Chain A
């Protein structure tokens, strides 16, 4: 067994996914199969092989320190689920970070 139901429940919490028991059960089974399959990458002897992140390796892509037009506050807030006096209104925040 490559992953337990409890581990899946933990992953769901970390990912901010409020899953029901049935879902957890189902996903645990499916993720177990998938993780076993993807673990195949560990068979590869890759000592000393650098990772690839981009097809064409490039460095130093910058923008100049100049201004570019912003969105209007109205436009930024237009699609907000809730707003108040120019702010995004969000539910109470529990944990202090």
Chain B
């Protein structure tokens, strides 16, 4: 008989196999995770909403399905933490914002439908930077989440809640969204695997839009295989999303099981290094590159000359699209309404509500976007930034003629302390330096843990980048790195964390 805390240590693949084999019930699994949440979330604050009743009901349904001999979904009975940016008809959806506090959507996102079809048990909605804008969850209207490795530090963002939940063993599966790095960067600083599939690989229908041409749903997990399983479960064409890819889902599970990089050509991006990168991050990155060489890969340095323009281009395109996407939050049809005293005009109520309901970062980006799209400024800002995208896509295309995948650190530093960058927008933006190019070009990227930085013993992530639709290569390389490091270490990476004490004591120290 497995104890609750043992159950929560399993991988998703192990859980799915156990449920399918009848070794553990879905209800048992879900209960164990709900208990884990109850005992740890006071410290971690990963969840905005725990859907206890519906999760248990879903778990019972899985058990009944199994008992009656019906075929089960690929991840049947496995619990999942869902970023609160997806609409759920049976749970509130706040996007980490006061303007949507308590909003109950009348429909499910396509991703939610697919998860339910896979018989996944959704435990609840996780914390995030407001409307996905941020790299730490400090922009959440409901307070930041805390990194299980060190509770005084950020779990990254904007999908920080999902990352914290998975790293704290509150769920083996997490779903986030990645617009400028918001899955990969939290994965890196929380010691997880995080994947941004090729743009369009999974549906955005029901994903509350931040930057429409960049937003990409993806998995956050503790192992590469788990990420692959989740990747396949959520991916595929959706007729409700005109930008979704009408192409077969890359065979990522098979790739995750084939962790062989012998002969693979790997390029180190020259421009993603140097000043601003913590020495521990560079050390571990270089170690990872050496490891790949020792596994038989051919490593060269590659230049992507326009990558230096990626950050400024992103901080023009994303705010421009979001200034338009967030215009709908106007107090007329749903959400917060302030100032409606019977004499104020609709315009006044809109303006007061938006001022009260949006946080500072959201306001900054809305104004920046309005500026960049203004007549007279469009060509020099938004127009130019869209051209930069073409140049960056060109850099990738040229690079991928020489190599099969590119690598870089996922983010320049390890998890920074809560509060350190909160008043410095530009400093916060730098966290996305390495991740942004793939969002602009739309190709796939993955972050896999590659060790602890010596100076602070905090996780470092290795970013792997692949061509458009070649997501499988990410998993092949990621699995190789993971496998080799696990073997070398003798245990799984995340076991170095386990900093959350399940007692009421909130000290939670990292490390063994």
Q: Residues on A close to B: CB < 8 A?
A: 3, 7-8, 11-20, 23, 27, 30-31, 33-35, 37-44, 46, 49-56, 58, 61, 63, 71, 75-76, 78-82, 88, 90-95
Q: Is the CB of B104 within 8 A of A54?
A: no
- The listed residue (B355, B386, B441) touching A18 by CB distance below 8 A is B355
Min Cβ gap B243→A in Å is 6
Determine the chain A residues whose CB is within 8 A of the CB of B286 once the complex forms.
none
Q: Residues on B close to A: CB < 8 A?
A: 103-104, 106-107, 198-200, 213, 239, 242-243, 245-247, 306, 308-309, 311-313, 315-316, 323, 327, 330-337, 340, 344-352, 354-355, 358, 360, 363-364, 366-368, 370-372, 380-381, 383-391, 393, 425-426, 440-443, 468-469
A27 to B425, CA, bound (A): 11
* Known interface pairs A34-B426, A81-B340; A46-B391 also in contact (CB < 8 Å): yes
Identify the interface centre among A15, A30, A43: most chain B CB within 10 Å of its CB: A15
Identify the interface centre among B315, B323, B332, B387: most chain A CB within 10 Å of its CB: B387
Q: Is the CB of B387 within 8 A of A51?
A: yes
* Known interface pairs A18-B352, A18-B355, A92-B345; A34-B442 also in contact (CB < 8 Å): no
* Known interface pairs A30-B364, A79-B103, A91-B346; A41-B213 also in contact (CB < 8 Å): no
Determine the chain A residues whose CB is within 8 A of the CB of B337 once the complex forms.
81-82
Q: Is the CB of A16 within 8 A of B363?
A: no
Q: Is the CB of A78 within 8 A of B363?
A: no
Q: Is the CB of B312 within 8 A of A79?
A: no
* Known interface pairs A11-B370, A30-B364, A82-B340; A37-B426 also in contact (CB < 8 Å): yes
List 22 contacting pairs A-B, 8 Å CB cutoff, sorted by A: A8-B367, A13-B351, A14-B370, A17-B355, A17-B358, A23-B355, A27-B363, A27-B364, A30-B425, A34-B426, A38-B312, A38-B385, A41-B312, A44-B309, A44-B391, A46-B384, A53-B386, A56-B198, A78-B104, A81-B331, A93-B345, A93-B346
A14 to B368, CA, bound (A): 12
Q: Is the CB of B106 within 8 A of A76?
A: yes
Min Cβ gap A19→B in Å is 6
Q: Is the CB of B200 within 8 A of A54?
A: yes
Q: Is the CB of B323 within 8 A of A15?
A: yes
Determine the chain B residues whose CB is within 8 A of the CB of A7 once the complex forms.
371
* Known interface pairs A17-B355, A76-B106; A41-B388 also in contact (CB < 8 Å): yes
A44 to B344, CA, bound (A): 47
Q: Is the CB of A15 within 8 A of B367?
A: yes
Min Cβ gap B302→A in Å is 20
Other than the given A16-B327, A18-B355, 9 more pairs (CB < 8 A) read: A11-B370, A11-B371, A38-B368, A38-B385, A41-B381, A55-B393, A75-B106, A91-B346, A94-B347
Q: Is the CB of B242 within 8 A of A46?
A: no
- The listed residue (A13, A46, A54, A75) touching B243 by CB distance below 8 A is A54
Determine the chain B residues whose CB is within 8 A of the CB of A95 once the complex forms.
347
* Known interface pairs A37-B426, A44-B388, A56-B200; A17-B354 also in contact (CB < 8 Å): yes
Determine the chain A residues whose CB is within 8 A of the CB of B243 once the complex forms.
54
* Beta-carbon nearest neighbor of B329 in chain A: A16
- The listed residue (A17, A38, A54, A58) touching B316 by CB distance below 8 A is A38
Q: Is the CB of B333 within 8 A of A88?
A: yes
Q: Is the CB of B371 within 8 A of A3?
A: yes
Q: Is the CB of A44 within 8 A of B387?
A: yes
* Known interface pairs A38-B312, A54-B243, A55-B442; A94-B384 also in contact (CB < 8 Å): no
* Beta-carbon nearest neighbor of A30 in chain B: B425
A34 to B200, CA, bound (A): 29
- The listed residue (B309, B316, B335, B385) touching A81 by CB distance below 8 A is B335
Determine the chain A residues whose CB is within 8 A of the CB of B331 once the complex forms.
81
Min Cβ gap B466→A in Å is 12
- The listed residue (A17, A33, A55, A82) touching B363 by CB distance below 8 A is A17
Determine the chain B residues whose CB is within 8 A of the CB of A11 once the complex forms.
367, 370-371
Determine the chain A residues whose CB is within 8 A of the CB of B351 once the complex forms.
13, 16-18
Q: Is the CB of B364 within 8 A of A91?
A: no
Determine the chain B residues whose CB is within 8 A of the CB of A35 once the complex forms.
368, 371
Min Cβ gap A64→B in Å is 10
Min Cβ gap A79→B in Å is 4
* Known interface pairs A37-B426, A91-B349; A54-B213 also in contact (CB < 8 Å): yes
- The listed residue (A3, A55, A90) touching B441 by CB distance below 8 A is A55
Determine the chain A residues whose CB is within 8 A of the CB of B332 once the complex forms.
81, 88, 90
Q: Is the CB of A55 within 8 A of B199?
A: yes
Min Cβ gap A91→B in Å is 4
A23 to B358, CA, bound (A): 13
Q: Is the CB of A15 within 8 A of B366?
A: yes
Determine the chain B residues whose CB is within 8 A of the CB of A30 once the complex forms.
364, 425
Determine the chain B residues whose CB is within 8 A of the CB of A39 once the complex forms.
312, 380-381
